[in-house]
Structure 1
Amino acid sequence: MSYKLKQESISSFSTATAANICTEFFAGKNKISGESIMSLTDVRQVNSFIIEALFTQWQAEMARLRSPYFNYEAEEVQIALKEFMNTLSNHISIGRGHLEPLLSKAIEATILLTFAPKKFLLSYWLDMNRENLPKGKLRYIKTHTEGFKLIFETAKTPINPAYLGNLFDSMSSHFEIPEPIEFLQKLKAENKLDLLFEKEVVIEPAPAPIQTPEIEETPEVINTVATKHENGKETINDRFNGNTTAPTLAEKLQKSNRQPLEKTLTLNERIMFTKTLFEGNQELMTKVLEELDTANSIDEALAKTQPYNKKWDIEGDEMDAFIQVLKRRFN
């Protein structure tokens, strides 16, 4: 069974889903922090688009800081402003009234990007009215990353819809559309499948009958097959039908969650976190991870990073990867 996205329903679905997510999050809470936004939903792309919206707002506010008396373009001023931004990002505090519309727009953009990436690409370029595709946008794209990176790096000016559409078509093999139900489950909105998608019934022509000579099975072969099953040995059919004692992915994750955080890190994660988040201090990283092991939830773990995350870039790939490690541990 295949599904077709109902593009006319994206906005209403996003509004309703954002309201449900906010109702659950703000039960007993008045504000949401930057750390909590990074793990607000299980769809990484949604969280990333909220961060992008906040950064865009920051840029708009900074653009108003212009004066005939001071040089805001000076290198030292730009460095100070960046440090100010990093400090400010650790003090994000948003109420439901301001978060909900941002979340709704993030869900809407994520759906289009995920299930209609070509339309997302064309809409983004037309909305921005740009002469080229800004590579800075890539840091916020967490879905179809490889495909969009190829397009952004390959696109040449002048850009127009026909050229961009043809470029996408030439790289469409890098865009694999996920199953809708899996996506909706991450948003706790699987009951809205029929609102957002319609089923497409593909009728395939019946294959022509193939005439094959009948082969009589000898008693020896029958006995051999029966003997294998009687002895309880696994056949190839058994393996493909799932009759195996191998642990499931859920069982592996559950077992992994009982391990200390540091032991769950891959080699690449260990190197990346030590170098970028902990300034090359392996002992400091071990200390922080041991503190996070005492947390009972991902929000509590993120709160425990406060004394150490003053220079962390919440928009960076390292922070995204760190959030994913915490999700493996606490979800």
Structure 2
Amino acid sequence: MSYKLKQESISSFSTATAADICTEFFAGQNKISGESIMALTEVRQVNSFIIESLFTQWQSEIARLRSPYFDFEAEEVQKALKEFMNTLSNHINIGRGHLEPLLSKAIETTMLLTFAPKKYVLNHWFDEQKENLPKGKLRYIKTHTEGFKLIHDTAKTPINPAYLGNLFDSMSSHFEIPEPVEFLQKLNAEDKLSLLFEFEKEVAAEPAPSQVFTPEIEEIPEAKTSVAAKHENGKETINDRFNGNSNGPTLAEKLQKNNIQPLEKTLTLNERIMFAKTLFDGDQSLMKKVLEELDTANSMDEALSKTQPYNKKWDIEGDEMDAFIQVLKRRFN
């Protein structure tokens, strides 16, 4: 079955999906933190675009901090502002009324980026006035990452739409479109598939009929050679042993329980080095202590709340924070 994105329906789809997600999240709480935004949906791109909107707003507010009496461009001032932003990012506290429009916009942009990446490049990634690709936006791209990086690194200024369109076409093989149903399931929005996509069944050409010859086959008496037949007369079969009416846990349940490892052991070498250096100031023992505390959590929300005493200096916009969230999602989702 082939699908075609209905671009005119993206806005209504995004509004409805954002409302559903907010209804579920805010059923038990009034505000959402920055850490929770990073794990709000299973689509990293949506979460990333919300963070981008927040920091775009921050940059807009900082731009208004200008004075004839103070030098806001001074190196020490810029450093202090950055430290202030890192502190402020750990105190994000947003209600539904302000989050929902940000989420709707993030979903809308994500759908275009994911299923119509060329249109996204031309409409959202290209700064026509400056004839270039805006700096810094690449860090928020979590889908088709390789393709966008290639375009970013290859494009030569000045850029115009025709040149950028041709450049995208030459790299289109790096933009693999996902299967819509599976993608929408991550947003719990598979029921809105027909709202967002047109789909048609692919009709295969019927092969020309050919004459079928059916040879005569001599019937052979059925032989009792199955495993079940070998264990008749009340004897336990292999099937009984593993699928019997036992009240104990099943084999799958035992394996699943035994497969839960401490978070520290699930880290790759790169993650271990990155987290220790960036999130824990090089303190390996502190990182181990925090991970052991997170091992006692029973849910993603509980794990995130347990990081509160330690994340005051974490950069919520940074790749390290994003990677740390993904480690927690591997455990709890």
Q: Calculate the TM-score normalised by the size of structure 2.
A: 0.85
The 8 Å contact of residues 38 and 323 in structure 1, kept in 2 or not, is answered as yes
CA distance in 1 between partners of 2:256 and 2:128 (Å): 44
The 8 Å contact of residues 127 and 133 in structure 2, kept in 1 or not, is answered as no
Render the CA deviation track for 1:149-207: whole Å, top value 9, x for unaligned.
00011111121111111000000010111111111111111111111111133344456
Give the letter for the 2:105 counterpart.
K
Using a 3 Å threshold, how does the CA distance of structure 1 residues 294 and 174 change in structure 2: closer, same or farther?
Answer: same
Render the CA deviation track for 1:235-263: whole Å, top value 9, x for unaligned.
xxxxxxxxxxxxxxx99995587221111
CA distance in 2 between partners of 1:160 and 1:136 (Å): 20
Using a 3 Å threshold, how does the CA distance of structure 1 residues 65 and 182 change in structure 2: closer, same or farther?
Answer: same
CA distance in 1 between partners of 2:298 and 2:216 (Å): 61
Task: Provide the secondary structure at the position in 1 that maps to 2:94.
Answer: coil
2:188 aligned with 1:180: no
Q: How does 1:283-294 map to 2 (within 5 A)?
A: 283-294=285-296
Render the CA deviation track for 1:256-311: whole Å, top value 9, x for unaligned.
87221111112221122122211222111100000111112212211211221122
Aligned to 1:104: 104
Aligned to 1:45: 45
5+ residue gaps, structure 2: 229-251
CA distance in 2 between partners of 1:10 and 1:280 (Å): 45
Aligned to 2:282: 280
Render the CA deviation track for 1:51-78: whole Å, top value 9, x for unaligned.
0000000000000000000000000000
The 8 Å contact of residues 292 and 301 in structure 1, kept in 2 or not, is answered as yes
Using a 3 Å threshold, how does the CA distance of structure 1 residues 124 and 252 change in structure 2: closer, same or farther?
Answer: farther
Using a 3 Å threshold, how does the CA distance of structure 1 residues 257 and 67 change in structure 2: closer, same or farther?
Answer: farther
Aligned to 2:315: 313
CA distance in 1 between partners of 2:301 and 2:72 (Å): 37
The 8 Å contact of residues 256 and 264 in structure 1, kept in 2 or not, is answered as no
Q: How does 1:11-26 map to 2 (within 5 A)?
A: 11-26=11-26
The 8 Å contact of residues 125 and 134 in structure 2, kept in 1 or not, is answered as no
The 8 Å contact of residues 47 and 106 in structure 2, kept in 1 or not, is answered as yes
Aligned to 2:64: 64
Q: Calculate the TM-score normalised by the size of structure 1.
A: 0.85
Using a 3 Å threshold, how does the CA distance of structure 1 residues 268 and 126 change in structure 2: closer, same or farther?
Answer: closer
Aligned to 2:93: 93
What value does the CA root-mean-square deviation take over the aligned residues?
A: 2.9
The 8 Å contact of residues 131 and 158 in structure 1, kept in 2 or not, is answered as yes
Give the letter for the 2:124 counterpart.
Y
CA distance in 2 between partners of 1:291 and 1:112 (Å): 40
Q: How far did 1:105 drift?
A: 0.1
Task: Provide the secondary structure at the position in 2 that maps to 1:194.
Answer: helix
Q: Which structure would you say has the larger Rg?
A: 2
Aligned to 2:243: none
Give the letter for the 1:281 counterpart.
D
Using a 3 Å threshold, how does the CA distance of structure 1 residues 70 and 129 change in structure 2: closer, same or farther?
Answer: same
Aligned to 1:296: 298
Aligned to 2:327: 325
Which has the larger helix fraction? 1
CA distance in 2 between partners of 1:194 and 1:321 (Å): 33
CA distance in 2 between partners of 1:256 and 1:78 (Å): 50
The 8 Å contact of residues 253 and 328 in structure 1, kept in 2 or not, is answered as no
Aligned to 1:244: none
2:144 aligned with 1:171: no
CA distance in 1 between partners of 2:192 and 2:4 (Å): 14
The 8 Å contact of residues 42 and 186 in structure 1, kept in 2 or not, is answered as yes
**Number of residue pairs the alignment of both structures matches:** 309
2:28 aligned with 1:28: yes
Aligned to 1:136: 136
The 8 Å contact of residues 3 and 198 in structure 1, kept in 2 or not, is answered as yes
Aligned to 2:237: none
Aligned to 1:263: 265
CA distance in 1 between partners of 2:195 and 2:253 (Å): 33
5+ residue gaps, structure 1: 233-249
